[in-house]
Amino acid sequence: MANIFEQLKGKLIVSCQASPGDPLEDIDTLRRIAAAAVEAGASGLRLNGGAQIAAVRHDTSLPIIGIKKKYGPMGLRITPDFASAAALAEAGASILAVDCTDREWTGAEPWREIIRRIHNELKLPVMADISTLDEAVTAAAAGADCVGTTLYGYTEQTRGHHGFSWQLLAQMKQRLSVPIMAEGHISTPEEARRAVADGAWCVIVGSAITRPGVITGNFAKALRQPSSSSVAIGVDIGGTSIKAGLVRASGEVCFATQTPTEASMGRDAISAGLVRVIDETLASACAEKLEPFGIGIASAGTIDERDGSIFAATNNLPGWTGFQLRAFAEEHFRLPVSVVNDAQAAALSELHLGVGRGYSSGDAIRVSPTPGVVSGAELEVRD
């Protein structure tokens, strides 16, 4: 078992699967996708079902993580019984992935018993697919040989989270001694590299590589130009309150909400308030059948332009220094996020919608403390 994990350390595993009804849901098609991934440098594969595993096993001796997806009234369960695991092993799987979440599932065998029988009867290692830290710790203690973040965002406890959880990875790194497989919502080579740097044993990537429909949709969405009726979410994080609103391209605010910052309670309270006001704003957008194309966040403090983190916080936001604000918001809401200093945001709003309209970069205008009056202190307009 140890040898197979050494083969995968620091490497890329490609998940070659298709959703039910997808045009790619065809054994030969998926076999060709797997072959292309291997030729391009994949060090392992994650495949669904004995037929697909058997077909691909003819082409490669690389490690294959085998799963059996079972859909039911309660959703999706991965390898829900020992018979499924045995069929995957017979087809040529090297590692068997088992759903080790704490969800109730009628008709599924207890996952601890499935792990025990895989070890004793099939002599193969087990990957535990989990969604929370508690599930990861429990699965490792029950004998799972590696643990994957696969189901984060897909269970009731984690629903609404649409990005890879860097926090979960960090927590697992601290608590687990078995290899951690970073899987789920990893969309770029940079994220894959970061996952390994942050402690993942290896990285499993699926949709971002093997699903043309998902990839095409992402490109199409990115290229949609905001129209005059389009909306974005604007957020202002201050020491007293966190404000959010739906903002049209014209600058019109068509919904607004706010919540106390509760800054004295530290970073977790501030970020919880941020999630609260954005959730309320998204609910309003949904009610009006509007789809926000992005989130703009203005925060007090110095912002690191490279990653949208808080380089240095002001005194009224204790514990805010070092917070990965852009990554946090993107992970929660799966929308493009821009983070700027609040004073810069004010200048930009004047440039595009206020007294700065018509001026170019480097021009100096004079603004007054009275809104709309052009006099007083000089302000350099920078876009």
**Domain of residue 314, CATH code:** 3.30.420.40
pLDDT-derived band at 343 (thresholds 50, 70, 90) equals confident
3-state secondary structure of 103: coil
Task: Provide the pLDDT for residue 376.
Answer: 32
pLDDT tens for residues 16-67? 999 888 899 999 999 999 999 999 999 999 999 999 999 999 999 999 999 9
- Residue 204 has φ and ψ, to the nearest 5°, of -115, 120
| Residue 376, domain member (yes or no) | no
Which band of pLDDT confidence, cut at 50, 70 and 90, is reported for residue 228?
low
Structure-token match 């535990």, residue found: 128
- Evaluate if residue 249 carries a pLDDT over 90: no
Closest CA relative to residue 275, chosen from 292, 289, 261: 261
Task: Let me know if 177 is exposed, middle or buried by CB neighbors in 10 A (0-12, 13-18, 19+).
Answer: exposed
Same domain? For 184 and 237 the reply is: no
Sign of the dihedral defined by the CA atoms of residues 336, 340, 342, 343, in that order: negative
365 assigned to some structural domain: no
Domain end point (choices 219, 242, 260): 219
On whether residue 172 sits in a domain, the answer given is yes
**Strand ranges for 342-382 from DSSP E:** 364-367, 377-380
Whether residues 115 and 248 fall in one domain: no
Helix intervals (H) in the chain: 2-8, 27-40, 50-57, 82-91, 111-117, 133-141, 166-175, 189-197, 207-210, 212-223, 267-287, 325-333, 342-353
- The answer to whether the pTM exceeds 0.85 is no
∠ CA 346-348-352, nearest 5°, is 120
Residue 382 lies in a domain: no
> d(Cα 282, Cα 41) in Å, to the nearest integer?
40
At 73, the pLDDT band (50, 70, 90 cuts) reads low
- Write out the two tokens for 2: 């140890």
Ranking 154-163, 170-179, 194-203 by mean pLDDT, the lowest is 154-163
Q: How far apart are the first and last CA of the chain?
A: 56
Whether 211 and 241 map to the same domain: the answer is no
Asked if residue 166 and residue 256 are part of one domain, the reply reads no
Nearest to 67 by CA among 98, 26, 41: 98
Residue 204 pLDDT > 70: yes
Answer yes or no: is 379 within a domain.
Answer: no
Are residues 203 and 118 located together in one domain of the fold?
A: yes
Does residue 114 lie in a domain region?
yes
What is the four-CA torsion angle of 216, 221, 224, 227, rounded to 10 degrees? 160
Give the CATH number for residue 77: 3.20.20.70
Pair 204, 252 in one domain: no
- Judge if 178 and 62 occupy the same domain: yes
Would the pLDDT of 377 be above 50? no
86 part of a folded domain? yes
pLDDT value at residue 276: 93
Q: What is the rounded average pLDDT for all residues in the chain?
A: 87
Specify the number of domains making up the chain: 2
pLDDT of residue 77 exceeding 50: yes
Domain range for 332 is 231-356
Cβ-based burial of 341 (10 A; exposed 0-12, middle 13-18, buried ≥19): middle
Within this chain, do residues 134 and 242 fall inside the same structural domain, yes or no? Answer: no
